[in-house]
Amino acid sequence: MEKNWESASPEQTLSIGRKIGEALKGKSGLIFLTGDLGAGKTKLTQGVVSGLGIEAEVTSPTFALINEYGPDAEAVHMDLYRLEDYEELQEIGFEDYLDGDRLILCEWPDILEDEGYEPMLRIDLRRDDAKGETARRITVVCEDDSAAERIAAIES
């Protein structure tokens, strides 16, 4: 199942993320985030975390690699851009995050895809320069049937 949104602003991207987070409350699994630098992956993640009901200042994990949100790390935001291979990912404890009820949002998930990991959702953010500097196309592809039902129910 695929669902598409158009966002005209960072605030709208945040709102779409919030709707996705609300729809995924109680779910756990991997979410792969793709798109160019500055496409809005962290802004969307801020919305998802908010939609999960977690009050936190969500920042890009570019230098930290992993940011945890919620009292029991119910949301984890990873940026795998600077990692060379899966061994490096293991060294920072990736597999430990798979044991538990949490959403793991991974930017630059190529290493995971190469290792055969299947996400529950793939979210791609693309600039839409024809519609303005802040315009984005957000495409959500659901790989998990129960997540697909929840995402399909979101009103655009």
Give 28-53 pLDDT, tens digit per residue.
Answer: 999 999 998 888 999 999 999 999 99
Residue 145: its pLDDT value, please?
87
CATH of the domain at 12: 3.40.50.300
Q: Give the range of the structural domain holding residue 121, as residue numbers without chain letter.
A: 2-152
Give 46-94 pLDDT, tens digit per residue.
Answer: 999 999 999 999 998 888 899 999 988 899 999 999 898 999 999 988 9
Number of independent structural domains in the chain: 1
pLDDT-derived band at 156, boundaries 50, 70, 90: low
Burial class (CB in 10 A: 0-12, 13-18, 19+), 49: buried
Give 105-140 pLDDT, tens digit per residue.
Answer: 999 999 999 999 999 999 999 988 888 888 899 999
